[in-house]
Amino acid sequence: MSFRAADLCILLRALSGDAVLSWRLFIHHLLSSPLPPSPPSIAALSSTLVRFAMLPHLHHLHLILLHLPNSLPCLLSFAYCAVRSHLFPFSFSLSLLQSLRPLPPPVHLYNILLESSLRSGHPEHVEIIYKDMIFAGVSPETYILNVMMRSLCDSGRLDEARMVFDKMHAKGCCPNVYSFGILVCGYCRAGLSCEGLEVVEGMGKFGLVPNLVIWNTLVSGFCREGRVGEAERVVEMMGMAGMVPNVVTFNARISALCKAGMVLEAYGIFKDMEDGGAELELPKPNKVTYDVMLDGFCKGGMVEEARALLDAIKSSEFSVDLVTYNIWLCGLVRNGRLLEAHSLLEEMAREGLEPNLYSYNIVIDGLCKEGMLFVARSVMSLMRSKGILPDIVTYSTLLHGYCTKWKVLRANMILEEMVKDGCFPNNVTCNILLQSLWKKGRTLEAEGLMQKMNEKGYGLDIVSCNIVLDGLCKNGELDKAMDIISGMWLHGSAALGELGNAFRGLVDNQNGGQKCVPDRITYSILINNLCKAGRMDEAKKKFIEMLAKKLAPDSVIYDTFVHAYCKCGKMTSAFKVLRDMEKKGCKPSTRTYNLLIWGLVNKHQMDQIHNLMNEMQIKGILPDVCTYNNLIQSLCEEGKMKEAALLLEEMSGKDIVANVYSFILLIKAFCKSGDFDSAEDLFQRALTTCGQKPSLYSLMCNEFCMSGKLSEAKELLQTAIDIGISVERFSYKFLIEELCKGDRLDDARSLLSLMIDRGCVFNPATFMPVIDALVERRDKTEADRLSELMMNMASRPEESNIGLAHPDNQSYAKIVSGSRYNENESHLKHLKQDSAPGSDWHNLLHRDDGGGIALKVLKRVQKGWGHGSVRHPQRWQLDLYDHSDDAG
């Protein structure tokens, strides 16, 4: 029995709930009817097979259709169902479209295939689809070209995306707002916001107006690049175009200012939004605005301001969610408020907001970095009690902490615990351990841990090999490192067998014959260490070998040579490297020019420095704060402090934020010349720009001390102590000695009392000048009291190092002094020996005799250790070609 085509279609639709019966009916029709199935019948059957994901039947149906006469209409119906289903791999879907030829496939099918490729994370398919369209004679629509541009932008191929954009007219298409938006977004994400702005300026030729999304993309792009001035100009252009900036625009501006260190300026915009929104027609802050501002305060070290903002969020219409609390946790940890961060976890739970895994990992990471591993373990126990299991980040953080402290046995225990919890280590974990141990030169322990990783099925990758090679270089085994690198080209990571049998067994068992060959980083490590060792000829040979191996050097490797030549004063060779770099198509970076300027500063060649600055401007290479710091240093060394100070204004005009070192150079130079008024003005400006940095206070205080301005030094030190700054960098003992010598005993005593009352951890020898002065005044009672205090401090080694207790929690001082400020170990050892029973220290602590014995002991203490371990005023020595901001 056969069916008419119309009847077959009706029956297939009726049987859409039974794919097997539908298929049998279709096969029966093919075998019994001379008429081919109609396109509607194929569409009905295909839809049923797709619904039940019957891929073998769909493949069979495709083969049947290919062999039917006049099958193009049926193939088209099948193609619509198959391509839209996303069941088939890309290659089959494309071949299905190709099977429709010579009939040009509908452009709609190509659109579906494009969207499917992008959704599945395969932007490389877009170009293949586009070429097939052209070959099939299908005219691309604007939509297709937009998708192609987006794909090219996503893969970083901006030049090709621009070519597609420029040829739209030739393809019979006209770019729309989305075309411009895609290209602008691509440029901005690539850090080329200026090119994005040029694209926007060309929209008028097509009668198009940028929408708010495009404007916000530009603002965000300039902000991410730190070009705050350009971002502000874009906001002005928005207003001129009749476009009102929304909260997204303002959030981008606030975020950029915070990242550039201009937190107070960001807060000014925030306050305008908060207080004058309606009057100034500004958008009101949303939850993102508050979170961005809170993050800015935290990263800028403005903890109290952040705390006040958090309280404001709690009292606002927005609730404090987990995102906000995690920002606050990060801020507390970053600013050393570890106990507060620890207690915040409990506070969150009390407020009904349970910390998540990320929250606990923030605190554990901060504790491990401070060496407070016992407390980190307690936090880990707390998270377990809340039903949150540690992940690989938690364990990796602890492993790194224990390895950094050389506690390899503990690290092994953590590794075993990790595996028992079902959290298996990966190559990243292995590399963390490896780097920590090789950094300390502990090759035997590294070997043991690598063996453990081997047992769990993890081998060495190129990152692991580079860590080992870097460790060898830093341990002075450059020749062995070079031999291993040569061997890696033949044997892969098995070349590490040169280090011993254990390594040979490890890599042979793991890599399965797959070679792990050197990469650019491998050669960068070797060349860098050869240059540091002064073996320039060998470094050049390795550079040539790298080129022969088809490994293109990057700016980092060229900069290594530039730095090495500048360091040894060979400026001609350094400039030859720069020119060779440009010939090879490797664009010099700002750092390259900073290195050259640093070398010229050391040679006092100001004319050439100005020539380099002009060259940077011509080539579009923007100077940064390091560039200007080098210029400031050069001018200060020539005694041109006024000209150097003007560079701060120039930096501000170019949206470059001066850092703490910019001000340190100028303050030091003005103090050296005796111009303390200018130095103090700069100091106040530095506090506004950089925040309450300890290095600024200690520099200014020490300069006052060196110049005999004891009152100013005392006032500044008191201010620093009041705001919770460590006295570690201050010449506090020298200041107290000088006050006592100048018959200002009361000032010295008040300063010492303040240090004691505020929980400062300082050298016990600081008591000596005051005790001596009291003895000379015959004030035996007070001298004995201070002696007791000194002896008590000296008998507690954990409090004998120079540091700071948090003003509100002296137990914090013990934690910090025990874990961070352990620099005077020999001094502590001496104190422990002196405080043993039967010693003079013991007699003094438990004496019942007169003050004579005490005085003799104190004199001996003063002579033996009272001066040697205390910081006296000294000039700062800075190497400013490259640096990071003071951590504060």
**4: confidence class by pLDDT, cuts 50, 70, 90:** low
pLDDT for 887: 35
Dist CA 78 CA 93 (whole Å): 11
Taking the alpha carbons of 705, 708, 710, 715 in that order, is the dihedral positive or negative? Answer: negative
Given phi > 0 = left and psi -120 to 50 = alpha, else beta, which region is 708? left
The DSSP bridge partners found for residue 804 are: 760
Rounded to 5 degrees, φ, ψ at 803 are -175, -150
In this model, does residue 874 exceed pLDDT 70? no
Dist CA 836 CA 832 (whole Å): 7
Dist CA 435 CA 459 (whole Å): 15
**867: confidence class by pLDDT, cuts 50, 70, 90:** very low
Query: What is the dihedral angle through the alpha carbons of 649, 651, 657, 659, rounded to the nearest 10 degrees?
Result: -80
Distances (CA, A) of 812 to 724, 837, 862: 12, 29, 29
pLDDT for 559: 92
Q: What is the pLDDT of residues 236-266, one digit of tens each?
A: 888 888 888 888 888 888 887 887 777 888 8
Neighbour-count burial for 97-119, b at 16+ CB within 10 Å, e otherwise: bebbeeeebeeebbbbbbebbbe
DSSP string, 796-841: -GGG-SSEE-BTTBHHHHHHHHHHT----HHHHHHHHHHTSTTSHH
Given phi > 0 = left and psi -120 to 50 = alpha, else beta, which region is 627? alpha
Neighbour-count burial for 222-236, b at 16+ CB within 10 Å, e otherwise: bbbbbbbebbbebbe
Mean pLDDT of 708-714: 92
Q: Which residues contact 678 (CB under 8 A, 6 or more apart)?
A: 641, 645, 670
Q: What is the pLDDT of residues 518-546, one digit of tens each?
A: 989 999 999 999 999 989 999 999 999 98
**Cα 431 off chain centre by:** 19
In the 8-state DSSP scheme, what is residue 761? E
In this model, does residue 109 exceed pLDDT 80? no
Q: Which tokens in the block code for residue 582?
A: 């440009």
The DSSP bridge partners found for residue 806 are: 809
The single-letter code of the amino acid at 383 is M
* Greatest extent of the chain over all pairs of C-alpha atoms, in Å: 130
Highest mean predicted confidence (pLDDT) among 217-221, 357-361, 423-427: 357-361
Geometric angle at alpha carbon 231, from 225 and 234, rounded to 5°: 140
Three-state SS letters, 401-455: HHHHCCCHHHHHHHHHHHHHCCCCCCHHHHHHHHHHHHHCCCHHHHHHHHHHHHH
pLDDT for 806: 34
The DSSP bridge partners found for residue 729 are: none
Rounded to 5 degrees, φ, ψ at 351 are -85, 10
pLDDT for 528: 92
Dist CA 846 CA 5 (whole Å): 114
**136: confidence class by pLDDT, cuts 50, 70, 90:** low
Given phi > 0 = left and psi -120 to 50 = alpha, else beta, which region is 411? alpha
Better-predicted residue by pLDDT, 227 or 718: 718
Mean pLDDT of 417-422: 79
pLDDT for 845: 36
Given phi > 0 = left and psi -120 to 50 = alpha, else beta, which region is 70? left
Three-state SS letters, 122-157: CCHHHHHHHHHHHHHCCCCCHHHHHHHHHHHHHCCC
Mean pLDDT of 802-820: 34
In the 8-state DSSP scheme, what is residue 883? -
Taking the alpha carbons of 623, 629, 630, 634 in that order, is the dihedral positive or negative? Answer: positive
Highest mean predicted confidence (pLDDT) among 17-21, 317-321, 702-706: 702-706
Geometric angle at alpha carbon 390, from 386 and 393, rounded to 5°: 140
Distances (CA, A) of 305 to 32, 252, 275, 413, 693: 85, 21, 17, 42, 16
Dist CA 397 CA 379 (whole Å): 13
**629: confidence class by pLDDT, cuts 50, 70, 90:** very high
Mean pLDDT of the chain: 77
Distances (CA, A) of 322 to 297, 326, 345, 354: 18, 6, 11, 8
Q: What is the pLDDT of residues 49-81, one digit of tens each?
A: 777 877 788 778 778 877 777 767 777 777 767
Residue (of 569, 570, 561, 618) closest to 591 by Cα position = 561
Q: Could you count the other beta carbons within 10 Å of the beta carbon of residue 44? A: 25
In this model, does residue 750 exceed pLDDT 70? yes
What's this model's pTM, rounded to 2 decimal places?
A: 0.55
Q: Give the side-chain half-sphere CA count within 13 A for 490.
A: 7
pLDDT for 510: 47
Distances (CA, A) of 336 to 299, 387, 815, 876: 12, 27, 12, 25
Rounded to 5 degrees, φ, ψ at 817 are -65, -30
In this model, does residue 683 exceed pLDDT 90? yes
Report the share of the chain in percent with pLDDT over 90.
15
Contact status, residue 140 vs residue 111, Cβ threshold 8 Å: no
**Cα radius of gyration (the chain):** 36
478-491 and 520-532 helices, crossing angle to 10°: 160
In this model, does residue 475 exceed pLDDT 70? yes
| Window from 420-429, 463-472, 521-530, 721-730 with minimum mean pLDDT | 420-429
In this model, does residue 665 exceed pLDDT 90? yes
Dist CA 128 CA 152 (whole Å): 12
The single-letter code of the amino acid at 525 is I
Mean pLDDT of 569-591: 88
| Window from 22-36, 228-242, 578-592 with minimum mean pLDDT | 22-36
Dist CA 677 CA 670 (whole Å): 9
